Amino acid sequence: MMINPKEIKQMTTPSDKALVPFVSVDNMMRLIHHVGIKDMLTELARYIEDDFKRWDLFDKTPRVASHSDVGVIELMPTSDGEAYGFKYVNGHPKNTAEGLQTVTAFGLLADVYTGYPVLLTEMTMLTAMRTAATSAMAAKYLAPKGSTTMAMIGNGAQSEFQSLAMQAIVGVDTIRLYDVDRAASEKCAANLAGTGLRTVICSSPEEAIEGAQILTTCTADKQYATILSDNMVGAGVHINAIGGDCPGKTELASGILERSDIFVEYPPQTRIEGEIQQLDADHPVIELWEVISGKVAGRRAADQITLFDSVGFAIEDFSALRYVRDRIKGTDFFFDLDLLADPDDPRDLFGMLMRAKG
């Protein structure tokens, strides 16, 4: 039987169920500006908080990491039984000197029942947003009440996001900036102009932490570093440590850890990658989901030092993917990607191939 070209086109045109929404970098930025940066940070924090409250439903595993001399490439998977998500992400500190991003990422969300993807999206921009949202969500429970000042030590790609999230969710109004490269601090201050935040560029970490109730460390070098020494940290502060995120990379003196109540996302991962890799394997830590669920107290006393040893966990990315899936409905902030083969007869993939022969 002869088949005309029009019929061939109809048989090879993907159906709706074979099309996967794809959010490009450009469309992610459009979405962020459509929602508003601070509003989106607040909404992301709410999604993450909601998922932390149903922590027991999730598959949990440390990220699958492939380390090299120059960086790391990782996969971060999880599922709540209805949806499955993963993120591909790299961390290459040397990239900055080569004019490249230290961190890039993309992610996918799928339907567990069919196994079909329902969303593919960039996650370099989205990871920056969810990381900041997670920091501020934790600080809401752990930082001193009425915190107004944050020291931001390390003023690279994450610094503005962290600052705006702390402003939107915690109420911080002053950011004290320090970076070994003053140009990075000047960049951050310029980017935050007009946001309602007061920025102060400091000449040392010691100067940056003066009067700050929240101390955020976010440096990129893959080494055992001491960004904050033990004698720099006094009673009553909250430390948001987000730079120690892989084996062999830390920012805090071990003495600080010994004096702090330490809160983590997922201990089996944090003990490998976080600040607590410096401590004995049985050193007590508190899982953040327990605080958010009301099972364990967070900040209990004015002189308590709280430390969020954040390394980033797959459930936070899952929350961000859920958020984007929900937020793009009814918008043009995505386009459909012909990602899945969809033969008329699911047993006849070869027939689909042959009908497409021109």
Please identify every residue annotated as catalytic.
245
Number of alpha helices (DSSP H) and beta strands (DSSP E) in the chain: 12, 17
Q: Alpha-carbon distance 280 to 177, whole Å?
A: 32
Of 113, 159, 116, 165, which is closest to residue 136 (Cα–Cα)?
165
Sign of CA dihedral 169, 173, 175, 176: negative
Please, what's the largest Cα pairwise distance for the chain?
85
Kindly state the tokens that stand for 234: 């006094």
Contact indicator for 163, 172 with CB cutoff of 8 Å: yes
Q: Alpha-carbon distance 59 to 79, whole Å?
A: 5
Radius of gyration of the chain (CA): 22
Which amino acid, residue 325? R
- In angstroms, the Cα distances linking 202 to 186, 199, 227 are 10, 10, 14
